[in-house]
Structure 1
């Protein structure tokens, strides 16, 4: 907006193209990934449900689909409204209970091959830098996971629990000793819950998640996926 007042002897280059109208050169062109997990789910004609509250709805739809807003074949969506508060430390439970209800009802009803869901609490409340509300946020997610497990154990489902970054595990900045309000690069958990008793490799990366999901579902990963199935299968 203030480009007219910017120094004229500076050269602007962005890492990626944020907006075409800016007219500045960029380093990395936008990629359109092929054969991501959402593509494979559609190709396999898997009926799948995407569930999140408002704050994370795009993560299980638009972002999960590789930056594509349009739903793939077999995809159904349900968004639970996030609470209307100024900041989520005022309501650390957010809408986790509503998300849990949608998921447990879907499991009980049956008919879905895959359910993709997201709990927003640990991230959104973690951004506040407030320790006690963040503790309540994590406790809420823990309780909701327990409710989902009670439903899952009576059905033939495998369950993978993970995250794409940390936040709530670090609430005090180790350098400033003040509130820590942003994402971390700490390792995140990957938990597999099923009847196989299969263990997961101790090391892995986010690129391994989709191959692991496909392995659990008995489908070979596309060649475009560079990760591996993290399950330690018996020879």
Structure 2
């Protein structure tokens, strides 16, 4: 299908640029003490939300391609939907289908992993929870059971503790469930299946955007070489570290399970198979590269065993990482960026490192790099390597200052930015810090509104999923931090100082993030491309 945009018959846009602000993790939930969004002093955001050009959008479940409406949205699928204007079956849904119809187990990749696992050891690495954002324990358990049925007798599981997409100290429950599965397999198949290593997802293995390669090295050394604090079981490891600090699961240190002689039970060796069972890409790319890149130089891997490595999905289709994968990722083409470039529209995308890939790679349909470097400018502000409750503003002010420069340059017709702090600070579970993060966002949105008005442009404010809107749950008077995303809808607001009732905001039933792209095209003065989800506007 040709990438052709046609001018809108009723609206030609405004003389100035269109700016899209994505306030990551800022959903809409009832006001109350657990809602950092409403507890914060945010006069600018309050004014936007009270305007007649304001509504709410679905950002979870089926609205973003996830299996059910019990599944929280996330930044990856949210930006896919925003940038593509349609709903695509996403990670968990794709994998569930491939497991249910057996196609995953019919792949050459699975068969090769089994062939390595039978005479050697088969290793499974991944986030260990039922959060369904990066992985699913139910999927892991199905893989383990199938490996046993196909004759693999020795398996080691390397668990990354969550505490981010699920309650902050829930690891013991998940460990107990997996230990039960492993015990049943061992009894039924005379096998040796056990947990071998682990650690918190924000401490080892799951870095993204090359922000902290030492984090990946800690995970690689732990899983591969058995380097870490030794314990006799994963339960003992977690219970001990719980007693030593108030840290949530995501921040627990690396640990390894050792035998009676103090030796690691799950160090990898030549000929082993390694399966990374995460289905989300951003935090899976770097550890994949560490295992499979023969020219890897981000850190010293020591003696690198010759293993057969595969991922659940291919996490980067342009860089072909990993080379071997079990389920084909969604094919996302005809994105908004492709159409704008084909029409010669200049645009920019900006965020800090933690969310830069979301306004570029994920927005562009899981595609690395520029669509057209002559027409696009991507700006990455380096993130600090800290726990983000210690720096609630993150780089929001720096993103704003650079965005104002880009807008005033007169070069760009469209720009998109991601303010990451609602999500990244929200994930820490620290309510006062998240309130502060929201107040900084409010301050910066006010600056951007002023500049957009000065330039005769328009500003759209939305989010990709909820998080900061529910910071704790309460039962019997006891508050428990909620560090996961929420099922909340997200705001969608158009700020247009030149508005003269040329259009109305009339969302279709069950409007979601995938309706945004068509709306943006219309605000730019174009008709939405064929096949895109309908616009939120009526002319």
**TM-score (norm: length of structure 2):** 0.40
Measured against aligned partners, the alpha-carbon deviations of 1:29-54 in whole angstroms (never above 9, x if no partner) come to 32222211111111111111111011
User: Out of 208, 228, 231, which is 2:534 matched to?
Assistant: 228
Q: CA contact under 8 A between 1:34 and 1:224: conserved in structure 2?
A: no
Tell me if the contact between 1:126 and 1:168 (Cα under 8 Å) persists in the aligned partners.
Answer: yes
Contact 1:125 1:134 in 2 (8 A): yes
- Hey, what does 2:24 align to over in structure 1? none
Q: Name the structure 2 match of 1:119.
A: 419
**What are the equivalent positions in structure 2 for 1:188-207 lying under 5 Å apart?**
188-194=490-496, 195-196=498-499, 197=501, 198-202=503-507, 204-207=511-514
CA distance in 1, matches of 2:335, 2:487: 23
Partner of 1:18: 313
Alpha-carbon contact 2:332-2:366 (below 8 Å) kept: no
CA distance in 2, matches of 1:187, 1:118: 18
Q: Which stretch of structure 1 is more off in the superposition, 62-71 or 125-134?
A: 62-71
Equivalent position of 1:185 in the other structure: 487
Question: How many residue pairs get matched?
Answer: 227
User: Is 2:351–2:419's contact at 8 Å kept on the other side of the alignment?
Assistant: yes
CA distance in 1, matches of 2:531, 2:421: 33
The match for 1:60 among 337, 356, 359 is 359
Q: Counterparts of 1:1-235 in structure 2 under 5 Å?
A: 3=122, 8-10=147-149, 17-18=312-313, 24=326, 26=327, 29-73=328-372, 74-85=375-386, 87-173=387-473, 177-194=479-496, 195-196=498-499, 197=501, 198-202=503-507, 204-225=511-532, 227-233=533-539
Change (3 A) 1:180 1:223: same
Task: Report if the CA contact (8 A) 2:354-2:383 is conserved.
Answer: yes
Say which SS state the counterpart of residue 191 (structure 1) adopts.
strand
| CA deviation vs aligned residue, 1:11-37 (integer Å, no higher than 9, x gap) | 89x79642567765x4xx322222111
Cα deviation, 1:188-215, whole Å, max 9, x if unaligned, reads 0001011224442356211100000001
Q: Could you say what the CA RMSD is over the residues aligned between the two structures, in angstroms? A: 2.5
User: What is the alpha-carbon distance in structure 2 between the residues aligned to residue 109 and residue 36 of structure 1?
Assistant: 25
1:184 and 1:45 map into 2 onto residues whose CA distance is 38
Alpha-carbon distance change, 187 to 174 in structure 1, aligned in 2, over 3 angstroms = farther
Greater relative contact order, per chain length (Cα 8 Å cut-off, separation 6+): 2
Give, in angstroms, the shift of residue 82 of structure 1: 1.4
Give the TM-score normalised by the residue count of structure 1: 0.87
Is the deviation greater in 91-100 or in 2-11? 2-11
TM-aligned CA deviation for residue 68 of structure 1: 0.9
C-alpha spacing 1:137/1:222, structure 2 compared with 1 (3 Å): same
Contact 2:466 2:485 (C-alpha < 8 Å) held by counterparts: yes
Contact 1:35 1:224 (8 Å CA) reproduced: no
1:53-100: per-residue Cα shift (whole Å, max 9, x none)? Answer: 111100111111111112012111111111232x10000010111000
CA distance in 2, matches of 1:104, 1:60: 17
Q: Distance between the aligned counterparts of 1:119 and 1:164, measured in 2?
A: 11
Q: Structure 2 stretches of 5 or more lacking a match?
A: 1-116, 125-143, 151-274, 280-311, 315-321
- Find the aligned partners of 1:23 and 1:155 in 2 and give their Cα distance: 48
Distance 1:169 1:10, change over 3 A: farther
Match of 2:256 in 1: none
Are residues 23 and 37 of structure 1, via their aligned partners in 2, closer, same or farther at CA, if it must alter by over 3 Å?
closer
Q: 1:78 to 1:23 in 2, by over 3 A?
A: closer
